[in-house]
Structure 1
Amino acid sequence: MAIVVPRNLPLPDLLSGASSDDLNVLADLITDNGKGRVALDSKIKASIVTHRSKGTLQAIPEILDSEIRAFGSNSIANMFRSSSVEYTELATDVAKKLDGKPTAFHDVFDVEDMVMRLAISKYSEVKSFSDYAAMLAQVSQVVRLLVSTAGTIGGFAASGGAATIAGLIGGRLVTLAAPPLAVAAAGATIFQAASPAFRITVPAVLQVAKIRRTRFDADLTAYQESLRACL
């Protein structure tokens, strides 16, 4: 039977219909909160920052897609744009990095679901949730922490290692919206020890997964309502 509501939309199509709040998270991750990254072209950074300020990131989904995929390898060479990968491969690599076991039978929707569950298990003290909406709320909070730590890795070793990240977590938790997410210090320290590319791709895939599920749920609801209108 054909799938009436698609759940594996290509990344540009998915991002073009996402909310500004959700896209802002990806923009901040790609640009290191507007400060730029060594591997990020200055013109591309300027374009992303400008569209973010105007609330029009939906107009540049191809750029966001390209920049996310450019971090799709954990090699130092790829940090300088020697190559990129398809998004499905990127998500699969992230799942494996988190000790998942994706197979050829898993589509991107399945792989992202795996990533969300594994990331919550690794980086959070919250191991269960009442429903799928609660899980997405936990994902949002994990992403917020990982985005912040991805931008502070440069001074990690020099400023105290695990003790410093524990302090950072404590500070961040104060500002998290209710219900609070207790992020495990050990989990964040593991993330800090990951390769540079994975510090970006892990939260990126988590955020894309959240966007995809939000879109899928909205499309499914709209389809169900259209069916009811025909009765």
Structure 2
Amino acid sequence: MGKFREDKDLELLRYADNEMLAVLVGYLTTDKDGSTRYTESLTGDKDFQAAEGDYQRVWQLIGAELQHFGGDTFVNLFRGKGVEYKEILTDVCKKLSVKTDFSADVIAIEQALLAKLFADSWEKMSEQERTAIRKELKIDGNLAGGAALSAIIAAIRLGGFMSYQVALIAANAVAKAVLGRGLALAANAGLARAIGLFAGPVGIAITALLTVPAISGPAFRVTLPAVVQIAAMRQQLLNQERNFF
């Protein structure tokens, strides 16, 4: 097991919801056919085993595992540590042709990634699905097509509740597509409806991305779901007062 590399952008794992951490652990340890990933080192770690599912106790082990997936395996052997989260996030975004300022902080980059995933999914929605999403996200009903999408993208990039909604919608769809199960979290009725409406189109978009040979290597099949999950964790922590009402 490699050592955790001090990383301010992964400190949120210390405070993240345990169920959300469980999904991240699933990405790091489970292969696409449901078997244990042969390159993972978490499940064999004695401290990880002793935690018995209390993932907050071993958040640094989880962070270290992600850092090593994001780094070059051969290089990791010599430096003993993986790469920082921002480098992993940036790599994922560049593979997906996300347009953003990569010198910005990770929240802004994560929001750009969420906006890209939303835009890709929007293209796969029926007009009825788009209307329902506009209603749940409280987008002006007079806006249609590209104008509605532009308004949503702008709101996501500004942060706040829209980013929180889309982050959970995307993370839920990714979990269903990759692990076969959605997020186990409490949400208000409106957010739950939006999550349900959007799961299919996002899932289709994510599944397509994970099967493109040019970008979908073994590491990417871990790092893409992982950064979406971490983006959702970060938004959840930033919007804790909205989680239950």
Short-chain TM bin: 0.5 to 0.7
Give deviations 1:25-65, integer Å, cap 9, x for gaps. Answer: 011111107842221226546654663xx441001111111
Deviations 1:51-107 (A, max 9, x none): 3xx44100111111111111114x675799986211111111111111113334411
1:190 to partner: Cα distance: 3.2
Distance 1:49 1:25 in 2: 17
Please show how residues 2-41 of structure 1 align to structure 2 within 5 Å: 10-32=8-30, 35-41=35-41
Distance 1:81 1:48 in 2: 24
CA contact (8 A) 1:112 1:209 kept: yes
Q: Is the 2:170–2:199 contact (alpha carbons within 8 Å) kept by the matching residues of 1? A: no
Deviation at 1:199, TM superposition (A): 0.7
Corresponding position of 1:142: 173
Per-residue CA shift, 1:104-128, capped at 9, x if unaligned? Answer: 4411111111112222334573576
How far does residue 195 in structure 1 lie from its aligned partner after superposition? 1.3
**Residue deviations 1:184-226, cap 9 Å, x none?**
64652331231111111001000000101111223899xxxxx
| Aligned ranges 1:128-167 → 2 under 5 Å | 130=137, 131-148=162-179
Q: Which moved more, 1:81-90 or 1:138-147?
A: 81-90
The answer to whether the 8 A contact 2:42-2:61 is kept is no
CA contact (8 A) 2:10 2:85 kept: no
Number of residue pairs aligned between Structure 1 and Structure 2:
183
Match of 1:212 in 2: 234
Map of 1:37-48 to 2, 5 A cutoff?
37-41=37-41, 44=44, 47-48=47-48
- For 1:166, the equivalent position in structure 2 comes to none
Q: Give structure 2 stretches of 5+ with no counterpart.
A: 1-6, 138-161, 181-194
Alignment TM-score, normalising by the size of structure 1 = 0.64
What residue number does 2:151 align with? Answer: none
Match 2:211 to one of 188, 192, 198: 192
Tell which deviates more after alignment, 117-126 or 100-109: 117-126
Question: What amino acid sits opposite 1:191 in the alignment?
Answer: L
Q: Structure 1 pair 123/71, CA: closer, same or farther in 2 (3 Å)?
A: farther
- Helix, strand or coil: the match of 1:113? helix
**Contact 1:18-1:211 within 8 A present in 2 as well:** yes
- 2:87 aligned counterpart, secondary structure: helix
Give the structure-2-normalised TM-score: 0.61
Q: 1:19 to 1:118 in 2, by over 3 A?
A: same
Percent of counterpart pairs with the same letter? 23
